[in-house]
Amino acid sequence: MNATSLPISEIAGIVGRDNVLTAPEELCCYSYDASRIKGFPDCVAVPGSAREVSELLKLANRARFPVFPRGAGSGMVGASVPRLGGLVLTVGRMRRILELDPDNMLAVVEPGVVLGDFQKEVQRHGLFYPPDPASLPFSTIGGNVAMCSGGPRAVKYGVTRDYVLGLEVVLPTGTILKTGTRTVKGVVGYDLTRLMVGSEGTLGVFTRIILRLIPAPEGSRTLMAVFPRLDDAARAVCDIIRNRVIPSTLELMDQATLRVIENYLPLGLPTEAEAVLLIEVDGRERLLDEDAERVSRICAESGASGVEVAHTPEEKDRLWRARRSISPALRQIRSGKINEDVTVPRTRIPSLIRAVRGLSERHRLTIVCFGHAGDGNIHTNIMLDMGDPDERQRAEKAAEELFRTVLDLGGTLSGEHGVGIAKSPFFQWEVGEEGFRTMWSIKQALDPLNILNPGKMFVPDRAFFRSR
């Protein structure tokens, strides 16, 4: 498909000429996300309302062209990339916080609101919206809902799905649907809100989102615990939670990660240790020292050789510096990486990391593991030289073996980034044939012509062509 085969004047008639992009230098900005996957759109439309989104989708069904919803384009799996050409529908004109209701502890937002901006606004009212993907300075709430994003705070506070009360969503055929309620409780009918959250732009375009808010914690304490043995670190993670302290973050860095950071920025990290845990507790100010003390004692009893507690903002910042240095440190050792966000039950973290060490030796690759130990979401970074086809092939093989291992350990292929295009060849490994068929039948029921975000999740792209 190319621009001339899209009904540009009809698209412009719906959203206004100024909100349609067709020049190659403009389209280029919508041809990629944070993965290496690329696909050039034929046209970009920037609708300003649910009605305009609806009209665009009705037109797409009549004229049979694919439509790719897009927020900030920060996805890691190609989920917003217009692999097949067609129309990119971006929500850049819908970025208002429509309502912030402290008494009922909810907010209503448009999908283009940037998460970090929203969190700051909520904070001004003494409230808290916890989901914290690292992309919060630029990712949109619409994108967060579509990918069910989460971050380090998930161990205590959950992920985006735990905060979405309801949606206004334009279905692929153009019907405008309202789901959910403005109440914490609500059990009437199927839970269509949950179906939509995490649907990766394949089941509808969100135009309004009702979000649950909670009271802001009064303060926090940060600790770093050093473990000579990895198994002890994993045991400490389970013991802390079993002992009725749920940290707001519980991050793990393995030995390979510590060495890479120390090489990049000498911070005096214990590179002989098999693991380090970075822990934060939050809540009522008067309980924080007691909680930090309890976590510190549990770590020591589980085998930590040392525990440091930050008492000032400067000390806290120093402890977090190691964690924040991981990305730049990794960039120094190789030009590229395959960043997998696999997740296993907490108790299986040592088995996962040991299996990764085996992969690293067998495939002669540097692989570092770090991430959210509290919820078992371990970012496994397979480092590679992008210009070396042999290394690339070995890295891809290692990633495939990693997926098998994770599923054998009772885990999931993605705790954060989703399926998109990147993980679609492995989608069925996890959900099984029946899972795949059930989800595909939902997709077909809502999108009989496979107009919305085709070629994602359900591999192969054949799914798209089959329905033409």
Ligand X SMILES: Cc1cc2nc3c(=O)[nH]c(=O)nc-3n(C[C@H](O)[C@H](O)[C@H](O)COP(=O)(O)OP(=O)(O)OC[C@H]3O[C@@H](n4cnc5c(N)ncnc54)[C@H](O)[C@@H]3O)c2cc1C
Tell me if 31 contacts ligand X by CB under 6 A.
no
Q: Which stretch binds ligand X (CB under 6 A): 39-47, 142-150, 253-261, 271-279?
A: 142-150
Q: Cα–Cα distance between 92 and 340 in angstroms, integer?
A: 29
Q: Cα–Cα distance between 240 and 233 in angstroms, integer?
A: 11
* Between 154 and 226, CB nearer to ligand X: 154
Cβ-in-10-Å burial (0-12, 13-18, 19+) of 51 comes to: middle
Tell me if 371 contacts ligand X by CB under 6 A.
no
Tell me if 82 contacts ligand X by CB under 6 A.
no
* Between 39 and 151, CB nearer to ligand X: 151
Tell me if 135 contacts ligand X by CB under 6 A.
yes
Tell me if 111 contacts ligand X by CB under 6 A.
yes
Q: Which stretch binds ligand X (CB under 6 A): 145-153, 178-186, 391-399, 400-408?
A: 145-153
* Between 76 and 409, CB nearer to ligand X: 76
* Between 309 and 421, CB nearer to ligand X: 421
Tell me if 168 contacts ligand X by CB under 6 A.
no
CB of 59 to ligand X, least distance (A): 18
DSSP strand E in 192-330: where? Answer: 205-212, 214-215, 219-227, 249-254, 275-283, 306-310
Q: Cα–Cα distance between 92 and 96 in angstroms, integer?
A: 10
Within 8 A by CB and 6+ apart from 176, the residues are: 50, 51, 54, 168, 169, 170, 207
Selected from 39, 41, 71, 166, the binder of ligand X by CB under 6 A is: 71
CB of 196 to ligand X, least distance (A): 8
Tell me if 133 contacts ligand X by CB under 6 A.
yes
User: CB–CB of 383/368 below 8 Å?
Assistant: yes
* Between 206 and 370, CB nearer to ligand X: 206
DSSP strand E in 43-199: where? Answer: 43-45, 67-70, 87-90, 97-101, 106-109, 127-128, 164-170, 176-180
Tell me if 200 contacts ligand X by CB under 6 A.
yes
Tell me if 34 contacts ligand X by CB under 6 A.
yes
By CB under 6 A, what part of segment 402-461 binds ligand X? Answer: 416-417, 453
User: CB–CB of 269/262 below 8 Å?
Assistant: yes
- For residue 1, what is the DSSP state? -
Tell me if 79 contacts ligand X by CB under 6 A.
yes
**Is residue 460 reached through a cis peptide bond, with omega within 30 degrees of 0 on the bond before it?**
yes
Tell me if 201 contacts ligand X by CB under 6 A.
yes
Query: Is the Cα torsion angle 117, 122, 124, 126 positive or negative in sign?
Result: negative
CB of 89 to ligand X, least distance (A): 8
* Between 147 and 236, CB nearer to ligand X: 147
Q: Which stretch binds ligand X (CB under 6 A): 23-31, 130-138, 270-278, 458-466?
A: 130-138
Tell me if 151 contacts ligand X by CB under 6 A.
yes
The enclosing H or E element of 368 equals strand 367-372
CB of 305 to ligand X, least distance (A): 29
Q: Cα–Cα distance between 191 and 255 in angstroms, integer?
A: 43
CB of 33 to ligand X, least distance (A): 5
Tell me if 146 contacts ligand X by CB under 6 A.
yes
* Between 151 and 350, CB nearer to ligand X: 151
Pairing mode, strands 164-170 and 176-180 = antiparallel
Query: Is the Cα torsion angle 454, 458, 460, 465 positive or negative in sign?
Result: negative
How many residues touch ligand X under the rule CB under 6 A: the total is 34
Q: Which stretch binds ligand X (CB under 6 A): 72-80, 220-228, 263-271, 312-320?
A: 72-80
Within 8 A by CB and 6+ apart from 448, the residues are: 173, 467
Q: Cα–Cα distance between 291 and 286 in angstroms, integer?
A: 10
Q: Give the number of residues written for the chain.
A: 468
* Between 54 and 139, CB nearer to ligand X: 139
* Between 110 and 282, CB nearer to ligand X: 110
CB of 372 to ligand X, least distance (A): 9
Selected from 27, 147, 277, 329, the binder of ligand X by CB under 6 A is: 147
Rounded to a whole number of angstroms, the CA Rg of the chain reads 23
Using CB under 6 A, list all residues that contact ligand X. 33-34, 69-76, 79-80, 91, 111, 133-135, 139-140, 142-144, 146-147, 149-151, 200-201, 205-206, 416-417, 453
